[in-house]
Each structure stands twice: as C-alpha cells, then as structure tokens.
Amino acid sequence: MTLRPAMDSHSKPMTILVTGPSGAGRSTAVNALEDLGFEVIDNLPLSLLPRLISGPLASPLALGLDVRNRDFTTQGLIAAIDQMTEELGHRLQVLYLDADDDVLLRRYSETRRRHPLAGDGPPITGIDRDKELLAPIRDRAELLINTTKMSPHDLRAEIDRLFAPAKGKLLGVSVQSFSYKRGLPRGLDIVFDCRFLRNPHWDDALRPLDGRDPRVAAYINDDERLAPFMDKIMALLELTLPAHKDEGRAHLSIGLGCTGGQHRSVALAQMLSERLAQSGWQVSKRHRELDRKLKADQNARRGPV
C-alpha cells in the first residue's frame, strides 16, 4: 500500500527539494520519498521548474536537483527556490544532504565512478567544486542531514522519520544557532534572541571557545536571567509542539540567535536540544556559524587544489 504524506490544514501538498553534493545520498533519499507516496522528478532542468509549479499540485512532490542538472547555476537554483517559496509558501522544504570529504572520496573509490565536476583531475577537485557551488543552497536549507556515518538503510530510516505520515509518530524538531550579523536562516518557524544574556566574547579566556565548551556554558549559566528564559521557552514549546503534531506537521525548526553565533546561541541550542530530548521529542541540532568556520578551516589546511 502506498503511504500518503501528511497535508496541512488547507490540504496543500508538500514539496521537498532534495539537493547536496554528489555521493551524499540524494538518490537514496529521493527513492525513499517515492516509497512514501511522493511524486518524484529527478534531474529536471531548472528552466522547466516554472512550468511545473505554475499549475496546481495534486500530490506531494519530491524534486531531486544538483550540479549535474542541465543548465544548473547556483543563482538559477536560488531563484527557483525563491519562486517556489512564493508559489508554495511554507509547504516547500529544502533538504540538503552532506557528507565529509573523505567519505565522499571513499564512496567514489568504491563505485569507481568519476566525479562529474572533476574532469581529468582527482575526485577531490570535483568534490571541492561541488560543495563550493552548493554552499549558498546549504545555507538556505531547512533540513540538513549529514550522511557521513549513515548507511543507505540509515538514510532511508531518517527520511521515513521526517516525512512519513505523522499519525502515530513524533514531530521532528530541529534547533539551530546562528549569528544575526549573517541574517536569519531560511525556514525557521520560531526564533529566540539570546543577545540580552552576558557575552563570553568579552572574556579573553573564553573568546576563542564556543558554546559547546562547558566553561562557556557555565559563564552563561551565571546570568540570572538564563534559567527563567529557558523555562519560559520550554513552557511555550510544551504547549505548542503537541498542537503542531496534531495538525499533521512532520517537522518544526527553532532558531536561537546571538551577535556572532559562536557562544550564547550555541550554548542555548545545546541546552534546549537536551531538554527537548529529555521530554521525548526527536531533536536534531545545527550550528550554522560553527559549520561555516569548520569548512573554512578545512579548506585552509588543504590549501589550493
């Protein structure tokens, strides 16, 4: 029997745009969505997207897109996402699949496939170019799945957890830290501003660290405003999350922002994720600015290709 993904209160079908670097698992994810009842279109040329979304959508849709698409450009895909967002509203979600470079290299070695962007060079050249082209799309994605430690079976199970019919399963909650300097991440449902809390940036010993370090967390915990703030956030979520689940939503995204996205928002995202998990919710977390810094450091260590 074919499963039907949940609809919102207006019965508007969901559209999932699946993208990411070659080898990260896009085909597996798209096939899993097809098994869940999504109509799947893979590698549709970007120029045909406006025609596709201009008419009414009768069923949930999964679009597989990456740099191998005919007439692909980064700006073209961003424009397509913007147009689909305008046409489809909150029923569009961008799912970005990623993996560490060494894992992508191993996967290409195992399959003996040539990377589509490597040309006559080594696969790492294509992987770097692939991720560079898709970096702006990664930043705009509502959902990020790192498949580094996942088998195809694990990835299919995660897709099922996120997008299978909501009846009888938990609402998926993602918690993301970010810097207001770089703007709000796309697709957040709820945002909390952490900039009123005491800032570890002004402590010379804590400045190089981030909010995952216990010393930074302890510094922020010393602010007497933190405990009531976290309690009120949890009270709000304990009231609203069950209601979102009852409405058939499969996923809800929460953002916590501070000035630099390194200390306060990261520490609070860690705390909130832990408290939500302890309350029985399926939680994933992401630190946008730390992800950016990690990628920049990796590129700097590797040097020019």
| HEC secondary structure over 173-198 | EEEEEEEHHHCCCCCCCEEEECCCCC
What pLDDT sits at residue 4? 38
Report the distance separating Cα 129 and Cα 305, nearest Å.
10
Domain boundary among 163, 188, 218: 163
Pull the structure tokens for residue 265: 């928002």
What pLDDT sits at residue 234? 96
Q: State the pTM of this model.
A: 0.61
Report the distance separating Cα 74 and Cα 295, nearest Å.
19
Domain boundary among 163, 182, 207: 163
In a domain, 34, yes or no: yes
What pLDDT sits at residue 5? 43
Whether residue 112 is found in the same domain as residue 27: yes
Average of per-residue pLDDT across 249-258: 90
What pLDDT sits at residue 185? 87
In 3D, which of 102, 147, 106 has the Cα closest to residue 128? 102
Whether residue 141 is found in the same domain as residue 210: no
Domain boundary among 163, 183, 210: 163
Q: 138 and 156 in contact (C-beta within 8 Å)? A: no
In a domain, 9, yes or no: no
In 3D, which of 65, 69, 86 has the Cα closest to residue 17? 65
Whether residue 55 is found in the same domain as residue 113: yes
**Whether pLDDT at 105 is above 70:** yes
In a domain, 8, yes or no: no
In a domain, 74, yes or no: yes
The residues, any chain, with a CB within 8 Å of residue 145's CB and separated by 6 or more, are 25, 29, 95, 96, 97, 98, 155, 158
Whether residue 201 is found in the same domain as residue 284: yes
Whether residue 126 is found in the same domain as residue 196: no
Strand order in the sheet with 282-287: 190-193, 251-258, 172-179, 282-287
Hey, is 250 helix, strand or coil?
coil
Whether residue 56 is found in the same domain as residue 187: no
In a domain, 49, yes or no: yes
What pLDDT sits at residue 9? 40
In a domain, 115, yes or no: yes
Whether residue 229 is found in the same domain as residue 144: no
Whether residue 158 is found in the same domain as residue 285: no
Helix (H) or strand (E) run with residue 92 in it: strand 92-98
List pLDDT tens digits, range 183-235: 998 778 999 999 999 999 999 999 999 999 999 999 999 999 999 999 999 99
Whether residue 265 is found in the same domain as residue 215: yes
Of 103-112, 240-249, 284-293, where does mean pLDDT reach its minimum? Answer: 103-112
Question: Residue 303 — pLDDT band, cuts 50, 70, 90?
Answer: low
In a domain, 304, yes or no: no
For the chain, the farthest-separated pair of C-alpha atoms sits apart, in whole angstroms, at: 60
Question: Residue 1 — pLDDT band, cuts 50, 70, 90?
Answer: very low
Strand order in the sheet with 39-42: 39-42, 61-64, 15-19, 92-98, 143-146
Whether residue 218 is found in the same domain as residue 284: yes
The residues, any chain, with a CB within 8 Å of residue 285's CB and separated by 6 or more, are 174, 175, 176, 177, 269, 270, 273
What pLDDT sits at residue 179? 97
Q: Which domain holds residue 132?
A: 15-163
**Whether pLDDT at 236 is above 90:** yes
Report the distance separating Cα 144 and Cα 132, nearest Å.
16
Report the distance separating Cα 210 and Cα 265, nearest Å.
10
Question: Residue 89 — pLDDT band, cuts 50, 70, 90?
Answer: low
Provide the domain count of the chain. 2
Identity of the highest mean pLDDT range in 73-82, 125-134, 232-241, 286-295: 232-241
What pLDDT sits at residue 116? 74
Average of per-residue pLDDT across 26-51: 86
Whether residue 204 is found in the same domain as residue 66: no
Mean of the per-residue pLDDT values for the chain?
84
Q: Assign residue 123 the CATH number of its domain.
A: 3.40.50.300
Whether residue 263 is found in the same domain as residue 185: yes
What pLDDT sits at residue 6? 41
What pLDDT sits at residue 297? 75
Answer with the residue of higher pLDDT: 76 or 8.
76
In a domain, 56, yes or no: yes
Report the distance separating Cα 274 and Cα 285, nearest Å.
10
What pLDDT sits at residue 87? 66
